[in-house]
Amino acid sequence: MSSATYELHTYSGFEPSQAFDVVYGGHFEHRLLSPQRSNMEHQRLVLGDIRIETGCYDFPVVAQGAMPRDCTCIGLLAEGADVTRCNIEFFDQDDIQVYSRGAELMYHAAAASRWINFTAPEALLQGAAMERLGRPLELSVRGMVSFRLLRGQRAYLRQLAYDAFALARSLQPGNLAPALAAEVARALVAAYVDALGSAQL
């Protein structure tokens, strides 16, 4: 694995044009629902074929678009589940979402929110599932499908993402060495496979 790349983008203002590339390979247009100055933060960590991204909005927003067409995406709400809907469905605190390739969606947050999106090739996830679970994951979905995680798993996945971002950020302006990047990627894949392996519709 090549060394990781980490990006941090922040935005403050009234025109959300800089928020189009929030999910790599996808495309979203944002519409602000408040006349006040708004702040957005977006982080992306690329570890070879694996990406983990997070977006934080301190304002009400509607984002409409489509997910990447080349990989499986797994998302969760880190903050603001009680004020956030996706395709008109409210999130539960312990839900995790699996998105099919190119899935179209509308994200509607009535107040501050933070999301985390994990992207990986399905073959990589299924290979890890066979090793760890002895069976493949149920990833053949259309659009967006929510699964209920076991208690505590959402918090664990959230903290794992925060730790990965913090580690990459601390090493700026350099990047994670290949061996360390591979270990972070392995931990992320294992955590998501284990979480989905025990999740329920």
Whole-number pLDDT of residue 176: 87
* Mean pLDDT (whole number) for 150-167: 95
Backbone angles phi, psi at 192, to 5 degrees: -70, -40
Q: Give pLDDT tens digits for 52-88.
A: 999 888 878 888 889 988 888 999 999 988 888 888 8
pLDDT given at position 70: 82
19: pLDDT strictly greater than 60: no
Distance separating alpha carbons of residues 80 and 66, to the nearest angstrom = 21
Answer whether residue 35 shows pLDDT above 70.
no
What tokens appear for 61 in the block? 């927003």
Task: Return the half-sphere exposure (C-beta side, CA atoms, 13 A cut-off) of residue 148.
Answer: 4
The rounded mean pLDDT for the chain is 87
Say if CB 43 and CB 53 are below 8 A apart: yes
Per-residue pLDDT, 186: 97
DSSP 136-149: ------SSEEEEEP
Distance between start and end Cα atoms, the chain = 34
What's the predicted TM-score (pTM) here?
0.88
Per-residue pLDDT, 38:
73
User: Residue 34: its pLDDT value, please?
Assistant: 60
146 or 11, greater pLDDT? 146
